[in-house]
Chain A
Amino acid sequence: MKVLVCPKCKKSPVVYYGCENCGSQDVQQDVLIHHYRCAYVGKQEEFGSPPVCPKCRYVLTPGSDFDKVKGANTCVSCDHNSKREFVAMCSGCDLIFPLNQAVENAD
């Protein structure tokens, strides 16, 4: 039987969803705010509380002139905009690698 193994030590890895860049599991989807009036889109943190648009300085009116939009997945530890891919961690040497870099074992 052919299985996918670690490219370095040929041991079988553990596969999980994570950041394709650093392997961290702490990948979160950003919440963006789209201010209709000036077309500004930015992360929710930029708007503060009470929410004020950083571009046009208007105070957002709930329910009328802005919308929350789902953004990309961002890795909390390396700030990489991940696609939230399968990441593999080798059980032998602890090497973390994207699953598409795994090799098929020869046996």
Chain B
Amino acid sequence: MLTDLDFFVSSKHFNEFVLFLWAFLLLDMPRYALSKVLVLIWDFFCPTKRTFDYQPSVCVIVSAYNEGDNIVNSVKSLQGTYPDLHIIVVDDGSTDNSFVKIQEYAKYYSNILALRREDRGGKASAINMAMVYNKAEVTVIADTDCSFDEKALWEIVQPLKDERVGAVSAPVMPSNSFVNLCTWFQAYEYLQNIVVGRRSSSAFGILGIVSGAFGAFRTTVLRQVGGMDVGPPEDLDATLRIRRSGYTIAYAPHAFCYTDVPESFVVLTKQRIRWEQGGAVRNHCRKHIEMISPFSANFSLLNVFLWLETVWFEMISPFVIVLYFVWLFINHHHSEELFYILFALFCVYFVFESTQSLIVFFYSDNKSRDGLICMILPLVIFYKTYLLFVRIYGVVTEVLFRDSFNDNYVPKKVRDVTWRY
């Protein structure tokens, strides 16, 4: 079989190969792999120094809806890790005893303010409510199901020393990586796309997302853009508005935050559909389409690149991949070549993924954990195929039905009156 394959490979010209693999080169895998290699080379020759000489006052905003004990645990993991720290917890109309718990905890600390509204208003309004009482220079927005590294707050504020930086993105990792295959796949994905992927995006200046799980904003900038808008997703929308007002987004590669990821594929599918629906279609193509207009204020070519990159890889390339495979099966279904082409595809895919994993390993803060996570590499192709179909479903439903505006994540009274882009 290998000799046959050898014959097949040697009988083809390079351009014939490119013809077979053309669609493959459009996938986000080569994008990530190439950008990571470039960043690795860049970092090798001009390493950046880590400094801790900037100490602004920080206000952490946590919004909670029916979180129970989580809320106290995530506040506890932040308490005492930074000198000038205020924490504002907003209970967004929980129906359980979240507020009683946080109030009991807050009683003993003068730097924690617990707020409560009786009826749910959505995450965006909860954050905006906390902004009324925020007097700090830097606002950190955190999720209730997250726990934080003890250095995380120190790390995340450092890039804000640069006046041009409006917000700082931070790496997010699953706290339950090895529960089952589903969480293991997600750990691998987070490691590739968030922990190292965002490092390369920020090196190219096209980082366009600050996670709602953990991200820092300069308070004046966040006020200037009007705080959060009705989501989902509030985080992506706020980030794009900050970029459009002329600020850059930095990345703090060591400010780790650990979140609980879905442990079953059913929950994961729902989560991903929500992410896809609120992603490129709703924000890049509808709400923030002016980003690519040269006549808009604060026009910048980097924003155009960011737009093109996101729209291409999130909206167009999934369809191209599917069309490519359809094309491949129609043209080659009767020939033996199909098997070889698929095998060649898998080999190329494997090389790209391994390169990425090596780079991830090079940058890793916790080599034993990340090494174990990367062991899942040969199976990731199934996960990526699954994500491809979820992505296609999300994009199609959002383009046709604007499904993200009917998401129960935002209460109905708010959904009914807000703008539909």
Residues of chain A whose beta carbon lies under 8 Å from any beta carbon of chain B: 20, 30, 32, 34, 36-43, 55-56, 64-65, 67, 69-72, 81, 83
A56 to B418, CA, bound (A): 11
* Pick from B115, B125, B417: contact of A72, CB under 8 Å: B115
Interface centre among A38, A67, A71 (most CB of B within 10 A): A38
User: Contact: B121 with A34, CB < 8 Å?
Assistant: yes
A72 to B116, CA, bound (A): 9
Interface centre among B118, B122, B229 (most CB of A within 10 A): B229
User: Contact: A38 with B117, CB < 8 Å?
Assistant: no
User: Is the CB of B419 closer than 8 A to any CB of chain A?
Assistant: yes
User: Contact: B121 with A72, CB < 8 Å?
Assistant: no
User: Contact: B121 with A42, CB < 8 Å?
Assistant: no
* Pick from B110, B115, B227: contact of A40, CB under 8 Å: B227
User: Contact: A70 with B117, CB < 8 Å?
Assistant: yes
User: Is the CB of B304 closer than 8 A to any CB of chain A?
Assistant: no
Docked complex: B243-283 residues within 8 A CB-CB of A = none
User: Contact: A69 with B417, CB < 8 Å?
Assistant: no
* Pick from A39, A56, A81: contact of B124, CB under 8 Å: A39
User: Contact: B106 with A39, CB < 8 Å?
Assistant: no
Q: Using a Cβ–Cβ cut-off of 8 Å, how many residues does chain B contribute to the interface with A?
A: 28
Further contacts, 18 of them, CB under 8 A, given A38-B418, A70-B117: A30-B132, A32-B129, A32-B132, A34-B121, A34-B128, A36-B121, A37-B417, A38-B226, A39-B122, A39-B229, A41-B131, A55-B227, A56-B226, A69-B129, A71-B129, A71-B132, A71-B133, A72-B115
CB distance from B310 to the nearest CB of A (A): 23
User: Contact: A38 with B121, CB < 8 Å?
Assistant: no
CB distance from B73 to the nearest CB of A (A): 21
User: Is the CB of B18 closer than 8 A to any CB of chain A?
Assistant: no
User: Contact: A39 with B113, CB < 8 Å?
Assistant: no
Q: Which residues of A contact B131 (CB under 8 A)?
A: 41
User: Is the CB of B12 closer than 8 A to any CB of chain A?
Assistant: no
| Chain B residue at minimal CB-CB distance from A64 | B417
Chain A contact surface mostly: strand
Q: Which residues of B contact A42 (CB under 8 A)?
A: 132
Given contacts A32-B132, A36-B413, contact A69 B227 (CB under 8 A): no
User: Contact: A36 with B227, CB < 8 Å?
Assistant: no
User: Is the CB of B107 closer than 8 A to any CB of chain A?
Assistant: yes
User: Contact: B417 with A41, CB < 8 Å?
Assistant: no
* Pick from B116, B119, B128: contact of A41, CB under 8 Å: B128
A20 to B106, CA, bound (A): 14
29 residue pairs of the A-B complex, CB under 8 angstroms, read: A20-B110, A32-B129, A34-B121, A34-B125, A34-B128, A34-B129, A36-B125, A36-B413, A36-B418, A37-B417, A38-B418, A39-B121, A39-B122, A39-B128, A39-B230, A40-B226, A41-B121, A41-B131, A42-B132, A43-B132, A55-B226, A56-B226, A67-B121, A69-B118, A70-B117, A71-B133, A72-B113, A81-B113, A83-B113
A77 to B125, CA, bound (A): 28
User: Is the CB of B228 closer than 8 A to any CB of chain A?
Assistant: yes
User: Contact: A38 with B230, CB < 8 Å?
Assistant: yes
A72 to B131, CA, bound (A): 12
User: Is the CB of B414 closer than 8 A to any CB of chain A?
Assistant: yes
A62 to B131, CA, bound (A): 24
* Pick from B129, B133, B418: contact of A81, CB under 8 Å: B133
User: Contact: A37 with B227, CB < 8 Å?
Assistant: no
Q: Which residues of A contact B115 (CB under 8 A)?
A: 71-72
User: Contact: B414 with A36, CB < 8 Å?
Assistant: yes
Interface centre among B128, B230, B419 (most CB of A within 10 A): B128
CB distance from A53 to the nearest CB of B (A): 10
| Chain A residue at minimal CB-CB distance from B86 | A81
CB distance from B85 to the nearest CB of A (A): 15
A71 to B210, CA, bound (A): 27
User: Contact: B414 with A39, CB < 8 Å?
Assistant: yes
A34 to B414, CA, bound (A): 10
CB distance from B189 to the nearest CB of A (A): 30
| Chain A residue at minimal CB-CB distance from B109 | A83
Q: Which residues of A contact B419 (CB under 8 A)?
A: 37
Q: Which residues of A contact B230 (CB under 8 A)?
A: 36-39
CB distance from B222 to the nearest CB of A (A): 12
User: Contact: B133 with A38, CB < 8 Å?
Assistant: no
A77 to B59, CA, bound (A): 23
CB distance from A83 to the nearest CB of B (A): 7
CB distance from A102 to the nearest CB of B (A): 15
User: Contact: B133 with A39, CB < 8 Å?
Assistant: no
A41 to B413, CA, bound (A): 15
Q: Which residues of A contact B107 (CB under 8 A)?
A: 83
User: Contact: A41 with B229, CB < 8 Å?
Assistant: no
